[in-house]
Every structure is written in C-alpha cells, then in structure tokens.
Amino acid sequence: MNADTVRERLAGLLNGHSFGRNLEILQETGSTNDEALERARTGAPHGTVILALSQTRGRGRMGRAWSSRPGDSLTFSIVLRPESPMREAGRLTLHAGLAAHRALTRETALPYHIKWPNDILWERCKVCGILAESVCSDNRAACVVIGIGCNLNQTDTGFPLELRASARSLAQLTGRTWEMEPIAAAILRELALVIDRPWPEVLAEWKTHCTSIGKPVRIATGGEVIHGVLLDIDGDGALLLETDSGARRRLDSAEIL
Ligand code: BTN
C-alpha cells in the first residue's frame, strides 16, 4: 500500500469534509500523535489529520506501546482546537470514543461497548484504542490531539503474545479483510457530527454504551489498585467511584482493569 493511493482514496471518501481537508499520509513514522502534536505547535488548523501506514513507536494510554504492522491497523491522529481546550480535553476523549463506536457499529454491524474512557471493545476484547493529548503554548491557541488505533486485519498471531487474549481485529470478528480508508472516513465524519452536538446529549449517548456504570470494578490509578463500584461519569468526563471502604473518588486518569 502506498501513501499517495491512500491519500487519494481517503480524500475522495471525505469529499471536502472539514475534518481531513488538511490531510497528510505518511508511509512510516514513529507516532502519528507525535507528528500531530508537532503540527499543532506550529499552527496546524482544526481538523488536520495525519495518518501513517506504519508506526515504529506508536504510543498508548498509561505510557504503554501501541504496536501495529503495516496493513494490519488503522493509525491516525486529528488536531482539534476547541474553545477551552483544558476543560474540553476530558470531554473530547469521550467524543472520540463515541464517534469510533458509532462508526465501527455502522461499518461492521457488530455490537461494541465502550470501556472508560474510550476503548472500543467487542465482548471483553479491544478493537480500537484512543490516546488524547493536549498542547499548550504561550502565543498560540492550545489544542488537543486525538490519536486513534483500530485493529483491522490482524490474525491470531498478528498481535503480540501478551495481547492475543484481549485484542481482536475487525477481520477476526467478521471473517473478511478491511481497508483503512472507509473506517477512517467513517470515524472522522462521526467525530465532526458528535463534536457539534450539545455535550449533555453526547455524554448521555456515551453512557448507553458503557456497561460498567453501576457495576463493581477494579481501577488502577497512580500506582494503586482500587476496588469499588463505578457510580457515574461526571460532566468533565471523569470517573466517579465509590470504593469498597465507602469513600467517593473522582478520577480523570485511571484504567479499569
Ligand atoms: C490506548 O488504547 O492505549 C490508546 C492507543 C492509541 C493508539 C493510536 S495509533 C495512532 C496514534 N498514534 C499513537 O502513537 N498512538 C495513537
């Protein structure tokens, strides 16, 4: 697969859509989030999309690596310039999760759910992960970069050994191969729609796909593991927990185990 062909196909599917009007396709890079953060620091406009056919140092949440092989994965990042980025960073991560959920549901006709903050799961297996990162600088508007990695065509042995039980590709779930352009275009279109909707509606729809609310959970945060019940997600996208000892905790950076 060649970057020019992907660019032509994706631009054709987006057909002048605001997200992706500024579109860059890289044959190989370390991380599309690093590329997008760099472009954002030098003024890339809202909706800039950087997609790589191969990443050599893909990053996931909580300092983990995100590994992918050429042809197996969709890996791209979007530069967003919300009006109040620091407040909206937590929200945008949920916007992106909802957009990916909607796009994958529609494209594959399979039922997914969302694990807070924005993993897209089929049953208990991860299909798509999202990494949101913020940029602040003195003389330019701050912005948020949303990086999306979606497992398209991995076979059973295509994932690192430690992920084989917990990751799935669309090909494994559907028995056919998937091209990256239609999935990328579907996610970008949904993201633009979701971002334009009132936040309370977005949060309400997001919650309908999150199966952990009201259930016992184990949460890893700041080097500790907390047991409790996931009470709710607050208006800034943070997780509200009642611990087994009865304390209330609000967490905006954590992982449900
Ligand atoms: C996670 O689930 O931990 C988040 C994974 C995010 C991976 C994507 S791939 C495109 C973008 N570039 C990166 O380096 N990471 C994100």
- Which of ligand 1's atoms lies nearest the C-alpha of 31? 14
- What digits encode the pLDDT tens for the residues 147-197? 999 999 999 888 999 999 999 999 999 999 999 999 999 999 999 999 999
Q: Which residues contact 161 (CB under 8 A, 6 or more apart)?
A: none
The pLDDT assigned to 104 comes to 98
Stretch 226-251: mean pLDDT: 95
Distance CA 222, CA 90 (A): 18
| Whole-angstrom distance, CA of residue 81 vs CA of residue 221 | 28
Q: How far is the CA of 214 from the centre of ligand 1 (A)?
A: 28
User: What is the C-alpha separation between 51 and 26, in angstroms, rounded?
Assistant: 6
Tokens representing 121? 């799961």
Q: Is 59 in the pocket of ligand 1 (CB under 6 A)?
A: yes
Q: Residue 116: pLDDT band by 50, 70, 90 thresholds?
A: very high
Task: Find out whether the beta carbon of 20 lies less than 6 Å from any atom of ligand 1.
Answer: no
- Pocket of ligand 1, candidates 26, 29, 33, 133: which has the most ligand atoms within 8 Å of its Cβ, to mutate? 33
Res 180: pLDDT = 97
What's the CA-to-centroid distance between 181 and ligand 1, angstroms?
17
- Contact indicator for 151, 128 with CB cutoff of 8 Å: yes
**Which residues contact residue 194 at a Cβ distance below 8 angstroms, ignoring those fewer than 6 apart?**
95, 98, 99, 102, 202
pTM comes to 0.95
Q: At what angle do helices 85-108 and 199-208 cross, to 10 degrees?
A: 50
Tokens of 75: 């890996």
